[in-house]
Amino acid sequence: MAKLKDPVAGEKKEGAAIKNLEDFEFKSVRPEAARTVRPFDGYPLKKVKIDGKGMIASYIVALNPTFQVRQDPSNKKVKTKDGLVQIKNYHSPFIRDYEEQENTIVTFDRIITVKGQEYMYAYVPSHNVRAQLFFKFDNVKQRIIVDSNYMLLDSDQESRLKRVYEQIINPALKLEREASFISGESKDDTGGAVEPLTENEV
């Protein structure tokens, strides 16, 4: 009869050796460890020249050309001293700027041509406002999803924008879960803890 082997006994994992107490020492947690990590710290903002003017490419957000901006038929033309002039409606989402603690309107009213394709774009210096353009939280799937109506000129920043968005919604998710438990809608008492949202969840 074959002797059964303990699957754990005798296994040696690298780095799992037991150390002596003398190998350790107590240390206070450094004050800087409490600082909130700012995803764009150290990020090299890219620059570009548009119509002879220097701009930060990382702040440029274009509207996907496939997105149809609804035009109001009752407001198509306005009378001026030069005659009738057509008024064009621009896509202008209303977004909360959490850094400035105020609401802002992002208006896609500028035109840029890149590699023969014309785009309407907005200049959005606020990282948290840009993040909210590109990412949304799907309450049904309970995960972050991407809004494909918007496009980045500097796509290297997308993972940092994702982290900014996570920082925005995690407190909101915490409150929502606590409210669901208190109201009896959920039996999961997480104590307000929110699982960190990882990069591969998009």
User: For residue 193, what are the CA distances in angstroms to 79, 135, 173, 201?
Assistant: 58, 22, 9, 18
pLDDT at 158 (0 to 100): 95
Contacting residues for 62 by C-beta, under 8 A, at least 6 apart:
108, 112, 119, 120, 121, 150, 151, 152, 153
Of the two residues 63 and 201, the one the predictor is more confident about is 63
User: For residue 48, what are the CA distances in angstroms to 42, 60, 122, 127, 169?
Assistant: 19, 10, 15, 18, 31
185: phi then psi, degrees, rounded to nearest 5: -70, -30
pLDDT value at 190 more than 80: no
Most confident of 38-42, 60-64, 196-200: 60-64
pLDDT value at 172 more than 90: no
User: For residue 23, what are the CA distances in angstroms to 18, 20, 27, 199?
Assistant: 10, 5, 13, 35
pLDDT value at 201 more than 80: no
Q: Where are the domains of the chain?
A: 39-201
Answer whether 0.95 is exceeded by the pTM: no
pLDDT at 180 (0 to 100): 57
Average pLDDT, the chain: 80
Name the least confident of 20-24, 25-29, 172-176, 188-192. 188-192
pLDDT value at 58 more than 80: yes
Query: What would the pLDDT profile of 90-136 be if each residue is shown by its tens digit?
Result: 999 999 999 898 999 999 999 999 999 999 999 999 999 999 999 99
